[in-house]
Structure 1
Amino acid sequence: MSDTPNPIQVQKYLGGIDYPASKETILESARDSGADDNVLQALEAIPDGDYDAPTAVSSAISDAN
């Protein structure tokens, strides 16, 4: 299984997102920004819902693993 990406790796693919953002918006932005499979897998593992800040996304990734 892949290592969990660190918050900096994840956030570089999420620049320009307006928060709050849904999981689907976050995944779409990451894909559009060319995120690697490791980052996409981590984002796919977060719970559905709205995230109010980049730190909330990072926390959800940590909690999902």
Structure 2
Amino acid sequence: MTNNPIQLQKYLSGVDYPTDKQTLVKTAKDQGADDDVIQTLESLPFDRYNSPNDVSEAFGKR
């Protein structure tokens, strides 16, 4: 996986936080994310996120 947090956030525009991982994945798919981005989001370690910063931090922990 070659994604970085900035690339992930590009596909999460418009997400209302707090949110869950399923919503992140659905939003990314709806915004045209490729399979690599979807796999990255699905591999994030937590099920709930309070902010975009939480997503970026989780990305670093996976």
Shared fold by TM > 0.5? Answer: yes
Runs of 4+ in 1 over 3 A off after TM superposition: none
Q: Which residue of 2 aligns with 1:26?
A: 24
* Residue in structure 2 matched with residue 12 of structure 1 by the alignment: 10
TM-score (norm 1): 0.85
Give the superposed CA RMSD.
1.1
Number of aligned positions between the proteins: 62
Q: Distance in 2 between matches of 1:11 and 1:18?
A: 13
Q: Give 2:33's match in structure 1, choosing from 26, 31, 35.
A: 35
Point out where structure 2 has 5 or more consecutive residues left out of the alignment: none
One-letter amino acid matched to 1:11: Q
Q: What SS class does the counterpart of residue 24 from structure 1 fall into? A: helix
- Percent of aligned pairs with the same residue? 48
One-letter amino acid of the structure 1 residue matched with residue 44 of structure 2:
I
Question: Is the contact between residue 21 and residue 49 of structure 2 (CA under 8 Å) also seen in structure 1?
Answer: yes
After superposition, the C-alpha distances for 1:25-63 in whole angstroms (9 at most, x for unaligned) are 111000100111221111010134210001111111111
Partner of 1:49: 47
Q: Does the 8 Å contact 1:23/1:47 carry over to 2?
A: no
Q: Which runs of 5+ in 1 are unaligned?
A: none
